[in-house]
Structure 1
């Protein structure tokens, strides 16, 4: 008879197999959709402003409302995933995304579009804890960072496809009133593509073992996935965590994500406004293409550099390095005299900030909360962290247009530098789980813990081939 530890070891010590990549794709397509939906709205509101006679306040609200809803969705779905199981809620968030995207394209006025953007935001928020936790709990120990990062890295493709779709439509000759509707409706396609895959995914073995106490079903799932026969005994397990330990971790993960998203979303959703501030006479097509080029050259490689180094360098190290380099980049844009008059140097420094956003806290703030909480609170802790991030994103998106008008472009980037410095401070509160089993979460906050002994025992066992 295998013990509970044997069942989890079989899963965590396995090599990467097809089910890992299938889970990564199923989870990652949600983040492709999330990125597309969140970032396309900046172009949509630019198009809609003269058609619907929108003021700056209305543009700011439209750009930001999905982020408030995402904060609510992240916390709600995280709590539900811990209460009822990952499988029970997985897929509902992309159904919400699909419906919201399609109906937002039919909006006839500001209020209707605002409502459907709120619905989309609920789905986006729900995707953060559910996808992160499912990938984390299915991943093997050695490659968990890469697999969870790869899920999030699909966001990079959404960042590219959104502006490319916008650029293609802008040169197509189609009326602007139709272009924005097509942009929004296309957000339903990738979400709808994974509804079936998500609704049919198995419950994670770790949740079955540690929350539902269903060892027989957990053993069955692991056996099916790894092709290794696993049976179980009737051992029980308690993680021993206190609420105080949980909330200390939340301060570290949620605080880091909050400050990161102020800078990241503030710059990204308002990228067309930032490019317009740099080149006031440039067309919408020109500013959109420049933003796309920056994402392609700087941001997209950053995601994948993280994916292939995170299990070697470590999550916390990458996050600290990223925050530091972002702060230096934004500070350079603030302190270098007349930098806005030097387009190429400005874009290079601005682009460098994007590289270290992705090879840094934008990916690690997604990975770390999926690891550092015990199973019974993992999705809720992740949801709280993602929700805090989206609150930061809301503030960034809402206030960047105001900051641009009152502090200028360089002053706005100076504010972003301060946010990154604060993010470095909260990062000090998070632990490093590089090469550790998720079970190490139960021990590494307690003095004299046996986590190191647990890890050495795991390493000394034969890895499952």
Structure 2
């Protein structure tokens, strides 16, 4: 049985190769997440952008990611993971290059939307492929490593921005380089993604072709180079979306995964893309370069260790409990940032509390909200469930990015942080309905038996 072989397979270079190929898309996502905030600080005065236009440019790719994740997730369940793996990376490449050559606001807005479609599509397909290739003991670690490629993007982003600014080249060229460089990691993996075999679990459970599943498994572990094409690919079992929503367990799980992701992304993306606004509040007189250094320190000192801790403890503590701890400390950190008088005037104190929120975002829901949907839905709805969760999450990100600068403008940074604290507190409720998949096979933790499998 190919599923059992996958579950019991020891961690190997083949898992790590799949992790790298899957993870480079998330490097692009994180790089773009940070770099657009810096780019907008350079574009806005030149193009004379209003605050609303800045908010739209910052959030448009997130709205597009909503549609991309849902569409690509559903497509991957209906037609196979391999059919579209690499296509979403190509779309990200096109979107990044279009952004770099944008002549005006509307073109850049459209380019960001294209980029967002690719980013959104990358979430369910990469997560599900890695989850379905993983062994039972290391699945949380491996899927977490895919997502943790974000850490590199969060560090490389400020380094690129800082380096370009220090070179004193024309600012109009600087922001175009910043946005265009985001195409490089996605270009790197298009070919590699197309060469990955189809998920053996998908071939076994959805296409119902054990021979094709075994061939894909053998190719994955490097003991074969066959390209057996299943004669049953066009006669796979079709599972309707209405059946997904008529299953109470699936709906409850979706409430937990999508609800948690929505709340996390509202807090996280709104906060991160608006980092230049936050830096302006605590060190308004400082140069743009110094503000970049502060941002880089937060990511290196706090966010990066959070990713590392998440990977180490994912298969020890469990995803659900890491998520509960993360939401709790995030909420406390933002509450203190909002309530401590004159905290913005104490740069050191502010950066420690602000950094603490990042530490437990990464060693918390930012990583686990990506991992859990790839495990808690059965194979026939795994990419659909992940795509819906990611899409609803990106809807939260859209609202966060759109409303953070508006809220800060009307109510100030302290009240904005109190609102973010409440949002994080709500994440504890949505997380509590989820089951813990640690140490279980995908078939056991995804309630496959409920639908008669």
TM-score normalised by L of structure 2: 0.93
How is 1:20-419 mapped onto 2 (pairs within 5 angstroms)?
A: 20-226=15-221, 243-419=247-423
In 2, the alpha carbon distance for the partners of 1:330 and 1:207 equals 42
In 2, the alpha carbon distance for the partners of 1:392 and 1:335 equals 24
In 2, the alpha carbon distance for the partners of 1:390 and 1:342 equals 33
- Structure 1 counterpart SS, 2:9: coil
Structure 1 residue 125, shift from structure 2 partner: 0.3
In 1, the alpha carbon distance for the partners of 2:151 and 2:167 equals 25
Structure 1 150/366 Cα, relative in aligned 2: closer, same or farther at 3 Å? Answer: same
Spell out, residue by residue over 1:336-367, the C-alpha distance to the aligned partner (whole angstroms, 9 max, x if none).
Answer: 22212211111101100000000000000000
* Most deviating of 280-289 and 366-375: 280-289
- Structure 1 counterpart SS, 2:11: coil
Spell out, residue by residue over 1:48-82, the C-alpha distance to the aligned partner (whole angstroms, 9 max, x if none).
Answer: 01110111011000000000001110001001000
Structure 1: gaps spanning 5 or more residues: 1-5, 230-235, 452-465
Query: Which 4+ runs in 1 deviate beyond 6 A?
Result: 236-241
* Most deviating of 277-286 and 168-177: 277-286
In the alignment, is the contact (CA less than 8 A) between 2:376 and 2:447 conserved in 1?
no
In the alignment, is the contact (CA less than 8 A) between 1:245 and 1:445 conserved in 2?
no
Question: Residue 7 of structure 2 corresponds to which residue in structure 1?
Answer: 12
- Structure 1 counterpart SS, 2:419: helix
Spell out, residue by residue over 1:95-136, the C-alpha distance to the aligned partner (whole angstroms, 9 max, x if none).
Answer: 001111112111100000000000000000000001000000
Structure 1 residue 445, shift from structure 2 partner: 8.7
In the alignment, is the contact (CA less than 8 A) between 1:333 and 1:410 conserved in 2?
yes
Structure 1 residue 248, shift from structure 2 partner: 1.5
Structure 2: gaps spanning 5 or more residues: 225-235
* Most deviating of 89-98 and 220-229: 220-229
In 2, the alpha carbon distance for the partners of 1:443 and 1:98 equals 37
Structure 1 residue 245, shift from structure 2 partner: 2.1
* Most deviating of 404-413 and 139-148: 404-413
In 1, the alpha carbon distance for the partners of 2:255 and 2:449 equals 14
In 2, the alpha carbon distance for the partners of 1:265 and 1:132 equals 20
Structure 1 residue 278, shift from structure 2 partner: 1.2
In the alignment, is the contact (CA less than 8 A) between 1:163 and 1:292 conserved in 2?
yes
In 1, the alpha carbon distance for the partners of 2:452 and 2:94 equals 48
Structure 1 residue 450, shift from structure 2 partner: 12
Structure 1 residue 238, shift from structure 2 partner: 12
Structure 1 316/393 Cα, relative in aligned 2: closer, same or farther at 3 Å? Answer: same
- Structure 2 counterpart SS, 1:89: coil
In the alignment, is the contact (CA less than 8 A) between 1:14 and 1:226 conserved in 2?
no
- Structure 2 counterpart SS, 1:194: helix
- Structure 1 counterpart SS, 2:435: coil
In 2, the alpha carbon distance for the partners of 1:135 and 1:32 equals 16
In the alignment, is the contact (CA less than 8 A) between 1:371 and 1:433 conserved in 2?
yes
Structure 1 residue 38, shift from structure 2 partner: 2.3
TM-score normalised by L of structure 1: 0.91
In 2, the alpha carbon distance for the partners of 1:441 and 1:84 equals 24
In the alignment, is the contact (CA less than 8 A) between 1:11 and 1:226 conserved in 2?
no
In 2, the alpha carbon distance for the partners of 1:358 and 1:66 equals 22
Question: Residue 463 of structure 1 corresponds to which residue in structure 2?
Answer: none
In 2, the alpha carbon distance for the partners of 1:208 and 1:266 equals 39
Structure 1 residue 226, shift from structure 2 partner: 3.9
Structure 1 residue 93, shift from structure 2 partner: 0.4
- Structure 2 counterpart SS, 1:212: coil
- Structure 1 counterpart SS, 2:53: helix
In 1, the alpha carbon distance for the partners of 2:346 and 2:99 equals 39
